[in-house]
Amino acid sequence: MTSAADSAAAGERRNASDATGVIVLAACAVWSLITAAAHDGRPEGVLLAVLAVAAGYASGRILGALLPVAAPCAGALAGLGLAIVTPGPQISLPLGHTGATAALLTLSAGAACCAAWAARPSALRLALTLLAAGIAVTAALLGSTTGFLTCTGVLLCSLAAARMRRRALGLTGLALAAALVTGATWAIAENALPDGLTASLEGQLTQHRVLLWHDALRLARQDPALGVGPGRYGELSPTVTQSLLPDGKPHSAPLQQAAEQGVIGVALLAAVFCWVLYALWRTPRPTPIALTAGAALTALAAIASIGNALSFTTVTAGAGLLAGLATARPLVDEGPENVMDSAARPRGDRLEP
């Protein structure tokens, strides 16, 4: 009877997180249409991103239930292959390709680590962990410094997750990390940091990218509520019009939302990230899988804060796929680790490490 009650409660929690996701994604789509109508914008890019996340998440839930090990492993290999064929971080290419490569490699490393935690044989788990390490090495060989750092970070977080008994604490830390990176990006755009630190960061980010951020904030101040309209940043940014290789993007997802869809657009972008973390907190999958996926998606959020990664459909679909894989309920019992953390369990129960 206790087992049946626990199963019913877990089902209610999953339904609540799924309903939250539907509401948040629908709100993103509707708000893009509203802001586009107000300023003659082009919402197709936002709608495509929302569709890609939803499709990826649904696919991940289905594949994760049927193939809890093979599906994330295949996803990792597919993401690695796409990152290899994507143009690398060369100076003659737009800034966005660098972020897309790093994002795909990060998601691939996260998927490989999730597959490792879902595997039962020790040899298979070791092989999948080595695959994640190989993805980090591949990032270095491709010249993606950001990808190497984020893949290594995801791998280390995955290994450390084995000793985390309260996933809520780990997910809270990831949320704070994403907020810190976003806040730092905003502070650079506002010139709110000390001159020495600003000059140092500009050297890493390039002055061109910082000028794009300045333009985004200037446009956001013109209409804080609605923004200038989806897809209109490139038309109104002086830095874009003077660029040799313009792509019409400010290369920062929060700043692009602020410029094109106002404060509410930024809030909806944050709501999507918070929903993913909430779904990972509620998932019945083992805590290491939830925290590993959370680490990879947090790294993606950091990359998107300083780059153009979310403008690529493969990245948004991959993020939804990883979230779906980590929140799926496999048809085969995963053993004693397949429980919620102690914050959501009756007192007296403990998770196995």
- Lowest mean pLDDT, pick from 22-26, 45-49, 333-337: 333-337
- Lowest mean pLDDT, pick from 140-144, 184-188, 201-205, 262-266: 201-205
pLDDT of residue 94 exceeding 90? no
pLDDT of residue 2 exceeding 50? no
- Give whole-number Cα distances, 274 to 133, 177, 241, 301, in Å: 28, 13, 35, 11
pLDDT for 93 equals: 39
pLDDT of residue 340 exceeding 50? no
pLDDT for 274 equals: 96
Tokens of residue 138, six digits? 């591949």
Question: pLDDT band for position 97 (50/70/90)?
Answer: low
Mean pLDDT, residues 246-252 = 83
The length of the chain, given as a count of residues = 353
For the chain, percent of residues with pLDDT exceeding 70: 86
Asked whether the beta carbons of 150 and 102 are under 8 A apart, the reply is yes
Per residue, the 3-state secondary structure of the chain, as one string, reads CHHHHHHHHHHHHHHHHHHHHHHHHHHHHHHHHHHHHHHCCCCHHHHHHHHHHHHHHHHHHHHHHHCCCHHHHHHHHHHHHHHHHCCCCCCCCCHHHHHHHHHHHHHHHHHHHHHHHHCCCHHHHHHHHHHHHHHHHHHHHCCCHHHHHHHHHHHHHHHHHHHCCCHHHHHHHHHHHHHHHHHHHHHHHCCCCCHHHHHHHHHHHCHHHHHHHHHHHHHHHHCCCCCCCCCCHHHHCHHHHCCCCCCCCCCCHHHHHHHHHHHHHHHHHHHHHHHHHHHHHHCCCCHHHHHHHHHHHHHHHHHHHCCCHHHCHHHHHHHHHHHHHHHCCCCCCCCCCCCCCHHHCCCCCCCCC
pLDDT for 353 equals: 33
End-to-end Cα spacing for the chain = 26
pLDDT for 204 equals: 80
pLDDT of residue 21 exceeding 80? yes
Q: How far is CA 255 from the centre of its chain?
A: 16
Question: pLDDT band for position 43 (50/70/90)?
Answer: very high
pLDDT in tens, 100-127: 999 999 999 999 999 999 999 999 999 9
Question: pLDDT band for position 165 (50/70/90)?
Answer: confident
pLDDT in tens, 210-244: 999 999 999 999 999 999 999 999 889 888 887 76
The pTM of this model reads: 0.88
Per the prediction, the chain carries an average pLDDT of 86
pLDDT for 173 equals: 96
